[in-house]
Amino acid sequence: MIPFFSLTRQYVGIANDVEQAVLATLRSGHYVLGEPVENFETDFAAYCGTDHAVAVNSGTSALQLALLAAGVGPGDEVITVANTFIATVAAIVETGARPVLIDVDPVTLNMDPDAIAQAITPRTKVVMPVHLHGRLADMEAILTVARSHGLMVIEDAAQAHGATRGKRAGAFGDLGCFSFYPGKNLGAAGEGGAVVTDDPELARKVRQLRDWGQSERYMHQIKGYNFRMDAIQGAVLGVKLPHLDHWNASRRRVANAYEKGLPPSLARATGPFGEDHACHVYAILPEDRDAFRTGLAEAGVATNSHYPRPVHLQPAFAYLGYGPGSLPVTEAYAQRTLSLPMFPELTPEETAQVIDAVTALVEKTDATRTIKEEFAI
């Protein structure tokens, strides 16, 4: 079976460095924050091209603390998308604010800048775009709309480590948020996250919030949280970060091979796949996803689905009042999205096998060439 993702293959190439870093951390006796985390924060800020990076215990925590540092709270509204992992919206809810969900562009699957202005109300505080699948959202257009209304911008860059268009993901808005869940392009050996920013006051607030609101030991100025990063995660991430650009280039190699080799009739999240796309996910859109997934499994190809039920149709968020048909592009995409194997160590031979298996199934179905044509509403 060709795996959908493999951390064991990645580990082979970095095992010695990771084990030395972890053992050194264990022997230090300092297991929360500390030097490994501080070193990683410095290096990750430099990598992202920001002045500050604050490491936390998960990507969800990064989003929540970024929102709180931006002053978001009860009575406020945050504009974002439903075509994302649930953490994006859950983090907004945890601040007491209300998520306002808009539809996505049918080609990029990212936030539609033209839909932002219609969603703005006097209560709107923040616009939160998501770089879905690792593709940068149209940050220039999003920032133009947000700034014209005096709104802050917080990037959910949890899938886009290293994606670049003049700036790197996370460096466009007021704050950028990352997840280091093991399956991400830059993954820890457990949970982890970070907030990046150029604003020293925002960075100070995030640091204070992650550590029980302390301005100094046992002086709790504000309500805070235990969202600190473990030292071992900082050590592992410090070893992995220098490999990120190479890993992303390998992901783009796989994505562009798919793009070139898959049948033109197959609807998909189209490329080209350049540096503005970290290629966290490569999604196709078969007519019958379940049958297609079964067929690929029988051919020895593992798949996944990101995300088959959008956030606004999840029972947990029914109270927001969005029903079927409210976000038509998001819903049409969610009904059919199927993710093909995608990780840096996927070999050309395995990539070719995936293409052959998909091609054989496409011959039995009808499909539309582009998402835009498929989902023009």
Q: Which two tokens stand for residue 236?
A: 């592992």
- 357 compared with 371, residue with greater pLDDT: 357
In the block, which residue shows the tokens 């956030």?
311
Taking residues 297-309, report their average pLDDT: 95
Point out the least confidently predicted range of 46-55, 264-273, 356-365: 264-273
Is residue 136 predicted with pLDDT exceeding 70?
yes
At 342, the amino acid letter reads M
Q: Which two tokens stand for residue 119?
A: 């969603």
Is residue 261 predicted with pLDDT exceeding 90?
yes
Handedness of CA 312, 316, 319, 323 (dihedral sign): positive
Comparing C-alpha atoms, which of 94, 103, 107, 27 is closest to residue 67?
94
Do residues 50 and 196 make contact, with C-beta atoms less than 8 angstroms apart? yes
Q: Which two tokens stand for residue 114?
A: 């033209």
- Residue-averaged pLDDT of the chain: 94
Point out the least confidently predicted range of 124-133, 138-147, 246-255, 359-368: 359-368
- 58 compared with 366, residue with greater pLDDT: 58
H or E segment and range at residue 195 = strand 193-197
Per-residue pLDDT tens over the stretch 187-220? 999 999 999 999 999 999 999 999 988 887 887 8
Q: Report pLDDT for 269.
A: 79
Total residue length of the chain: 377
Helices (H) and strands (E) in the chain, counts: 13, 13
Per-residue pLDDT tens over the stretch 284-299? 999 889 999 999 999 9
Per-residue pLDDT tens over the stretch 308-317? 999 999 999 9
CA distance 89 to 298: 36
Burial class (CB within 10 angstroms; exposed 0-12, middle 13-18, buried 19+) of 377: exposed
Q: Report pLDDT for 219.
A: 74
Confidence band, pLDDT 50/70/90 cuts, at residue 271 = confident
Point out the least confidently predicted range of 73-82, 148-157, 284-293: 284-293
Percent over 90 (pLDDT), the chain? 88
At 15, the amino acid letter reads A
Burial class (CB within 10 angstroms; exposed 0-12, middle 13-18, buried 19+) of 93: middle
Q: Report pLDDT for 59.
A: 97
Q: Report pLDDT for 270.
A: 72
Comparing C-alpha atoms, which of 61, 62, 92, 94 is closest to residue 77?
92
Per-residue pLDDT tens over the stretch 156-195? 999 999 999 999 999 999 999 999 999 999 999 999 999 9
Is residue 377 predicted with pLDDT exceeding 50?
no
Confidence band, pLDDT 50/70/90 cuts, at residue 366 = low
CA distance 320 to 138: 26
